Amino acid sequence: MFRKIVLTGSKAPFSANSARSIRSYQYAANADHLGDALSHDIETVPLVFDKHEPKSKPQTEKSPFVFLHGIFGSRSNTRTVARQLANSMERNVYCVDLRNFGDSPHTERLDYPSLAADVERFVMEQNFAQKPIFVGHSMGAKTVMALALRRPEMPKMVVSVDNAPVATLAVQSLFPKYIRQLRYSLEAEKRTKMSEVDADLALVEPAKEIRQFILKNVKLGGKSDVCRSKIPLSVISDAVVKGNIANWPYDHNVAKWTKGPTLFVRGTNSNYVPDEAIADIANYFPNFEIRDIEAGHWVISEKPAEFMDVLREFVERKEDGEDL
């Protein structure tokens, strides 16, 4: 089941007259405090991706979907959903590995400006006939939001799944313990069996399905059979500790996205997008809608059918001409 939130950008009780909006218009002409968050000169890496095509010929007038995963994720996370959406919505769907995850290159920098810059490069290399619809979960959600602020002309629509343009305390509490335990298991203890790594993770994460998700980033080694990480844990740990994944490095007085509609999908059992974040959503993405799905943080994997229903209804309504 999902619940439609009536509150939208045009109806939200957070107007330009609010204290939050008035507070810092002095920054509007000066983006120096954002560093290179909006720069187009960030060094990028080529991203690995899967392209899912409909069984029938894709309709070229329809925008493709570009799916971005969260931390510890990869392009495989949304493979089943992507295949179903490609067929039911008659368009191509791309699932992308972000830098330092899946099969994409490893690099020292890991933050939202660099993550977004890689995706921008990917889009330009694909030379899509239509502007893509970006769908991101968790870290991927902040990446698509950052892309919209950095390249306002690039998205047709933006869909953020269980994240918001705010600092996210849940990231700081959950993921450091996973990283520490993986490093202990793989680097200190040098476990040789996946079951041993799982047992180590179980000390900090009782949910088997979450451990299985994290363990997709672990592989057995060569002749020694020592388990190894597929992803650069030291880089990811550094990014998490510094707050690069939890934080939000933008200022709505400098950059906001008004070029198209934005959908925020929340898991009702998750604390990533509290009601208090709606004011910030309205400031950065004025043309927004919110849907709630009865799920935890991993909304797409927990409730794929409900998620696809929500996404399909939103996109088809907008493509039929509402608010575009």
Q: What is the rounded distance in angstroms from the CA atom of residue 95 to the CA atom of residue 68? A: 6
- The active-site residue, picked from 137, 160, 297, 301, is 297
Smallest CA-to-CA distance from 141 within 272, 243, 268, 259 is with: 272
Q: Is 52 marked active-site?
A: no
Contact 267, 284 (CB under 8 A): no
Residue 153, phi-psi category: left (phi > 0), alpha (psi -120 to 50), beta (remainder): alpha
Hey, what's the torsion of the CAs at 210, 211, 212, 213, to 10 degrees? 50
* Residue tagged active-site, from 74, 138, 185, 270: 138
Assigned token pair, 263: 């959908």
Please give the helix or strand (H or E) that residue 8 lies within, else none: strand 2-8
Q: Is 301 a catalytic residue?
A: no
H helices present in 46-78, as ranges = none
Q: Which residues are catalytic?
A: 138, 297
